[in-house]
Structure 1
Amino acid sequence: MKVVRFHAPGDVRIEEAAEPTPGPADVKIRVRACSTCGTDVKIFNFGHHHIVPPRVMGHEIAGEVVEVGSDVSGWQPGDRVQVIAAIPCGRCAECRRGRMTVCPNQVSMGYHFDGGFAEYMVVPHNVLDVDGLNRIPDGLSYAEASVAEPLACVLNGQNLAAVGDGDDVVVIGSGPIGCLHVRLARARGAARVFLADLNRERLDLAADLVQPDARIHAGETDVVDAVLKLTEGRGADVVITAAAAGAAQEQAVQMAAREGRISFFGGLPKDKPIIALDSNLVHYRELTIVGANGSSPQHNKEALRLIADGAVPVNDLITHRLPLDRALDAFGIVARGEAIKVTVEP
């Protein structure tokens, strides 16, 4: 079978590999769709401290069960499934408290285990142990199901920021995560959602699809000033920084309304993690700043339901579908910002 395997930064190869064999507590699937994200591009260019090469990449996974280990019950060949990416241990103090997104023992598909850029892969028992293998609802395509993983992360972020009825929401960053934030905020009852980005072409591509109440081109307009004008001087109830930019985080604090909530959703580069924070704004406006890190198995289940119910449509966000032997092209398309979501279909 063919796989996309990371060997070293800048050295990712499409190569032949033997089909994997599941252990007694594992499940083997035929991968039908594995979507790409900016993290895949980062791994391609720089590697990752959790990846010991060679490693098959890919963590936004949907497929069909083809073989079940002897100790596994409840699954059979032909079942259509989505696989979580971040795998909590289920046993530590944080997991026992229901805080699975911050499990210190977390492992991940495509990092610690071979991932979904392959014709076949093994879903390890670690996933099954935390109920992380999910049935794809009838009528939902594999490609759409693969987007449940990033939507699960978005869901976690909006839960933490308490996005809800009547909110004015600003999303900074118009990539696939930004698009999902716009659609989920609408599904949660936000009154208005504004989308901002520095890149005009990317902003227009995204905004034409998700139709925010206003698009703000940060390359031509002061974002804080634009948001204040759009909100009659109040500021936004929720600001979500879906971009790896310290300036966006600083602006988020400045544009937040009284008792506003700010989600630092996008992490910053490791060599530039420090921002200038006007703590008096936080103090006097009673602002809340929250982080957001990944998702739990339960978030994945909820994300699948939201997609299947039509509350958060994702099919039109998949702008490119490529075969496995063009996976490296997929990384290039993502890196150049030419797509919203690129899905690899082995």
Structure 2
Amino acid sequence: MRAAVFHGKDDIRLEDVPDPTCGPDEVLLAVHATGICGTDAHEFASGPHMPPLHDRHPFSGHRGPMILGHELTGVVREAGARVRGFASGDLVVTGAGISCGECGQCRRGRTNLCTRYYTIGLHRDGGLAQLCAVPAATCLHVAPYGLTADAATLAQPMSIAVHSMRRGRLQPDEHAVIVGAGGIGAFLTYAVTSVTDRVAVLDIDEERLRIATNLRAAHALRLGDGIDPAAAVADWALEPDVVYEVSGTRAGLETALSLLPPGGRLVLVGLQGEFVPMDLRRIALAELEVIGPSAHVCGADLPTALQLLAARDGSWDDVAPIALSLDDLVEEGLRPLAERRSTRIKTIVDPWAPTTRPTQMRHADA
């Protein structure tokens, strides 16, 4: 099969590699599309950070050059001997995260914190290839949700957003502010507005804010040019109960902290790239909560993500307008993401496409 193989920093090669084998608890997918995100771009630009290129991963067993891609949909080509409920021809989406099901965190339902957790496309070969083997336990059928395969490819990042939203314990009568509307921020906007209509989104990019408004945000504010976000939020009579910081930048974090009233909750969705000092005295005296979400709980968050994707009127092509070919992956996908100049909210890749194509995002029954 054809695959994009990660060999290290700034080194992804298009190669013909052996087809993957299907384990007894796995399904072999003909990959329809795979999303790429900031994590993939970070690995490409400065990795390896997570892929086990040099030392064998203790749980996945992988070592050596690896195929990235953890946001994928595909059609089942083969089901393992112990797999039930999936058959050849089924369109499925995978949550990508693999948990043991036996440790204390798994027994408590927090499979994302499993002591043996690892991820397809980060710790073993993933979906930037024509075929990918994945555990059947991480998969859901797409057909019941009436989604196209391209739209279903957005389910894994949407599930990250759903998990982050839930970690903030947001209630229908509460106010929320989202700092950062790219990538996960756009999906988080839609997830948050499924709970409350009192939502403001802040970003530095006008186009992202326009899309956030289309995703039901009540207010949108372009940061910069001396604008005081706290004053703007006050003008909207919106005192945030929850602030979601999604940008992963120090400026975004400082903005988020400035908006928190006493008793507020800060959810750190974006990962900071360096140590950032915080005023722990203020956090203590104002009874602020700082909450960390990690990945998603596949069994709880992935079905909700598919439901949300199906609930939107119209198309998701404003979020993901095209599917790149593997030939365009680096120069049109990963490099612009790494350099923060990508013009798309979401970039997906079709490993079978000879050239870049428009996405097909409308519901299958529309």
> After TM superposition, is the score higher than 0.5?
yes
CA distance in 2 between partners of 1:242 and 1:207 (Å) = 13
* Contact preservation (8 Å) 2:33, 2:323: no
**What is the aligned partner in structure 2 of residue 262 from structure 1?**
266
* Contact preservation (8 Å) 2:9, 2:43: yes
* Contact preservation (8 Å) 1:10, 1:46: yes
Cα deviation digits, residues 309-345 of structure 1 (max 9, x gap): 4389744311222223222222234341311111112
Deviation at 1:9, TM superposition (A): 0.5
CA distance in 2 between partners of 1:197 and 1:156 (Å) = 21
> Is the counterpart of residue 191 in structure 1 residue 197 in structure 2?
yes
> Is the counterpart of residue 317 in structure 1 residue 295 in structure 2?
no
CA distance in 1 between partners of 2:207 and 2:311 (Å) = 28
SS, match of residue 105 in structure 1: coil
Cα deviation digits, residues 134-153 of structure 1 (max 9, x gap): 11134211111111111111
Deviates more, 1:219-228 or 1:145-154: 219-228
**What is the aligned partner in structure 2 of residue 29 from structure 1?**
29
1:45-194 equivalent positions in 2, closer than 5 A: 45-51=45-51, 52=53, 53-123=64-134, 127-128=135-136, 131-138=137-144, 139-188=146-195, 190-194=196-200
Match 1:343 to one of 334, 342, 348? 348
Deviation at 1:27, TM superposition (A): 1.4
Deviation at 1:78, TM superposition (A): 0.5
**What is the aligned partner in structure 2 of residue 290 from structure 1?**
291
* Contact preservation (8 Å) 1:153, 1:295: yes
Deviation at 1:283, TM superposition (A): 3.7
Deviates more, 1:71-80 or 1:330-339: 330-339
> Is the counterpart of residue 227 in structure 1 residue 238 in structure 2?
no
**What is the aligned partner in structure 2 of residue 327 from structure 1?**
329
* Contact preservation (8 Å) 1:6, 1:55: yes
- Structure 2-normalised TM-score? 0.85
* Contact preservation (8 Å) 1:307, 1:313: no
SS, match of residue 13 in structure 1: strand
The unaligned stretches of length 5 or more in structure 1 are none
Deviation at 1:208, TM superposition (A): 5.7
Deviates more, 1:311-320 or 1:240-249: 311-320
SS, match of residue 302 in structure 1: helix
Cα deviation digits, residues 166-214 of structure 1 (max 9, x gap): 32211101102111111111111x232111123x345445346435322
Cα deviation digits, residues 223-267 of structure 1 (max 9, x gap): 233223322xx6312110011123322332321234322111111
For the aligned residue pairs, the C-alpha RMSD in angstroms reads 2.1
CA distance in 1 between partners of 2:314 and 2:288 (Å) = 28
Identity of aligned residues (%): 29
Query: AA paired with 1:337?
Result: S
The size of the alignment, in residue pairs, is 334
Pick closer, same or farther for the CA change 1:151–1:118 going to 2, 3 Å: same
Match 1:244 to one of 241, 248, 252? 248
Deviates more, 1:238-247 or 1:44-53: 44-53
Query: AA paired with 1:182?
Result: T
